[in-house]
Amino acid sequence: MPVRYVFSKWKKTRILQNTSLKRYIPKTAVYNSSRLVEMLSRYKMVYVKPDTGTHGKGVMRATRHFDASFELREGISTYSFNSVDQLNTRIKSRIGKRKYLVQQGIHMMTYQGRKFDLRVLIQKNLNNQWEAMSIFGRKAAANKIVTNVSNGGKMESLSTLMRPHMNKSSISELRRELNQMGLSVGKQLSENYQGLKELGLDIALDKSMRPWILEVNTKPAIYVYRTFDPSAYRRILRNARAYGRFK
């Protein structure tokens, strides 16, 4: 069976929203003006992102301030608006005809003053069972609203990022929990899409260390493990060859 990819974030999110993983999924909807108004009154900070985007391209962050003014961030630019209509006009001009999502914003934990999130990789192993392979963190570049390495983000180990907040045994427990979450996501998405072989979960920890699944990539980068986690990389490559990623 050929390797299956699902690029629409909305399709994957909608499936997970209807499972026991729901509590880890930030509230997400297809963008339109009234949904943005609704979401901003509920969450104050939301992400507006392309349904099929990659590398953090086109990702925006909208915030409602106490004085009912609004702010939009994109890249390192910031725009201010006096009304939500002005905000929507600006967002629409950026979106054009593309499909966009609006998602509850997660206030990420920081390391040395930089936001970070985590990438959990799971793969179908040689026995065609989902297996958790490796976790790394990505620390955002200064003043960026995304953590993507292609946007200046830096890879860090989970233990480096969490050491200021927890002891070693709690970090191991967190690692187990995140891997378990990855395996459950694999199980749920596989029920809807046969042929999935590898998944990269983007997970944010909020200020109370609660994990949130921002998105699930069906074609995660694997070369990054070569230097970051060589022993995992050997197993990752072995699996990938077996399911025909390189054909």
58, amino acid identity: G
Is position 105 an interface residue for ligand ATP (rule: CB under 6 A)? yes
The residues with which 115 forms a beta bridge, in sequence order, are 110
Is position 63 an interface residue for ligand ATP (rule: CB under 6 A)? no
> Residues in contact with Mg ion, total (CB under 5 A)?
1
Cα separation of 187 and 175, whole Å?
19
Cα-Cα-Cα-Cα dihedral of 11, 75, 104, 32, to 10°?
Answer: -60
The residues with which 5 forms a beta bridge, in sequence order, are none
Residue 220: partners with Cβ closer than 8 Å, 6 or more residues away = 119, 121, 198, 199, 200
Is position 202 an interface residue for Mg ion (rule: CB under 5 A)? yes
Interface pattern 39-58 for ligand ATP (x via CB under 6 A): --------x-x---xxxxx-
Q: From the list Mg ion, ligand ATP, none, which binds 91 (C-beta under 5 to 8 Å, kind-based)?
A: none
Interface pattern 193-212 for ligand ATP (x via CB under 6 A): ---------x-x--------
Is position 36 an interface residue for ligand ATP (rule: CB under 6 A)? no
The residue among 27, 56, 63 whose CA lies nearest residue 140 is 56
Which residue in 36, 40, 106, 171 binds ligand ATP (CB under 6 A)? 106
Query: Closest distance between ligand ATP and the C-beta of residue 43, in Å?
Result: 9
Is position 215 an interface residue for ligand ATP (rule: CB under 6 A)? yes
* 128 close to 76: Cβ distance less than 8 angstroms: no
The CA distances from residue 209 to 4, 111, 155, 183, 232, in Å, are: 32, 13, 19, 20, 26
Contact residues for ligand ATP, defined by CB under 6 A? 26, 47, 49, 53-57, 59, 103-106, 117, 146-148, 202, 204, 214-215, 217
Contact residues for Mg ion, defined by CB under 5 A? 202
